[in-house]
Amino acid sequence: MASLTQGLRSARSDGSAVGATPSALRVIVFAVGVTTISGIGQIAGISVFIDSLIRDLHISRPEISTIFSIASLAGAMTLPVTGRLIDQHGVRRMALAIAAAFGTVVLLLSQVQGLVWLALGFWGIRLLGQGALNLTGKIAIALRFHAAPGRAVGLSGALGALCMSTLAIVLSAGIEAVGWRMVWVICGIAIWACVVPLTLWALKPAGDRELSATATRASASGVAQWSRGHAIRTAVFWVITFTIASNSLIVTGLMFHQISILGEAGLSPTRAAANYIPQTMASAITMLIVGSMADRMPRQLLLILPMTSLTLAMVVVSYLDDGLITIVYGMLLGSAGATAYTAEGVLMPRYFGVRSIASIRGLVFTFNVAGAAIGPVVIAVANELTGSYALATRVLLLLPAAAVVAGLLVRSPVFPGARPGATPSEVSRAA
């Protein structure tokens, strides 16, 4: 890892001169830091509060589940606006603003008294945590490593996943020690105390201008810089979006119901929960491996790889038992999510450039978060209709199968105004 970090710090293959942009290492630390902190608004961080909220607010599990799903979908719908704001005002300014708002919402959640307050709080932390703050880290990586983002995406994603995997343990221990309200107070203050200085350190002294300048260099080197309006008119944008959303829907749904799925295979709740360990380890390793190869990998192979891994995991569900196959299942599921994360981070800049990358990826995030929000419901309904999780996953295999076929058939888009087969200089002039 040290050699990889050193390589990222000194590499000039990303198309930017060393010293002309923020340090590569600082940008990676920024991305890992905001990814970790965003976990307070992700399912890993929120899940440990659910039982306490049900007990102390006197609400039912179906009520809180419904509120959470609606709030997540509402947060997802707002992400395209966030993406446009990042493009307009830069990563540095938006990260500071998002951190200020995120910390405030978490502090207000510590005083929650009823369903409406809780719904607004969930909406805020899903939008600002899982969505907006998480997006700033990904955009910083895309801008800093615009021509060859693979290694940086893989490294930052792997470290972020490992750091976030400990978050639920820390929050759970905190709830037992000081109560859930005080833990949310501490989290709100921690967001301000961590993200603000991290952003000022990582992107100083003029991080927004320096990162944004990479788009100009990318355009000058012949990389077409698409607007979101042009990007959404291409088939490849929707193939990537469908792949990411489907992956998020199925992986989140299977992980949400993991205790029940593995219980159906004969595992105790404790052993079923332990399967998150190989999932997390496989996710981190996959990000490092795929990230190191992604910049040299053919685009279509990178496009279909996430759903290939997911298909294997879904097939294995039919053969789960109290043995090694369960560990294999966990590793495949973790690898599927990690591959999708890495593929999206690499493919979007390769296809559409970085000038409007936050607006473009903000829209992809909308479908990604929406998929995660409805995934548990889809899996539960499919299980009810078919009578088992094994049959349910067989039905849902249509989604990854369709994504793989679409990924094999889709062609690279031609930038508006540039003829097919245009040279880099011609594409640059068209852009």
pLDDT digits (tens, 9 = 90+) for 144-171: 887 678 888 888 888 888 887 788 778 8
Kindly state the tokens that stand for 146.
């615009």
pLDDT at site 5: 44
Give domain 224-412's CATH architecture. Answer: Up-down Bundle (1.20)
Angle between helices 235-256 and 299-316 (to 10 degrees): 30
From the number of C-beta atoms within 10 Å of its C-beta (0-12, 13-18, 19+), residue 251 rates as buried
DSSP conformation class of 126: I
Backbone angles phi, psi at 18, to 5 degrees: -65, 130
Q: Which residue in 359, 336, 158 sits closest to 251, CA to CA?
A: 336
Cβ atoms of residues 126 and 71 within 8 Å: yes
Query: What is the rounded distance in angstroms from the CA atom of residue 171 to the CA atom of residue 168?
Result: 5
What are the residue ranges in the chain where pLDDT is below 70?
1-22, 147, 204-223, 417-431
Q: Tokens 């820390």 correspond to what residue?
A: 170
pLDDT at site 418: 55
Residue 389 host element (H or E)? helix 389-396
pLDDT digits (tens, 9 = 90+) for 63-112: 887 888 888 888 888 888 888 898 888 899 999 999 999 999 999 999 99
DSSP for 171-227, please give it: HHHHHHHH-HHHHHHHHHHHHHHHHHHHHHHHSTTTHHHHHHHHHHHHHHTT-----
Query: What is the rounded distance in angstroms from the CA atom of residue 431 to the CA atom of residue 426?
Result: 9
Query: What is the rounded distance in angstroms from the CA atom of residue 25 to the CA atom of residue 202?
Result: 9
Q: Which residues pair with 21 in a beta bridge?
A: 18
Domain boundaries, the chain: 19-221, 224-412
Cβ atoms of residues 299 and 243 within 8 Å: no
Rg (CA), the chain: 21
Query: What is the rounded distance in angstroms from the CA atom of residue 380 to the CA atom of residue 313?
Result: 18
Give domain 19-221's CATH architecture. Answer: Up-down Bundle (1.20)
On the question of a common fold for 19-221 and 224-412, the answer reads: yes
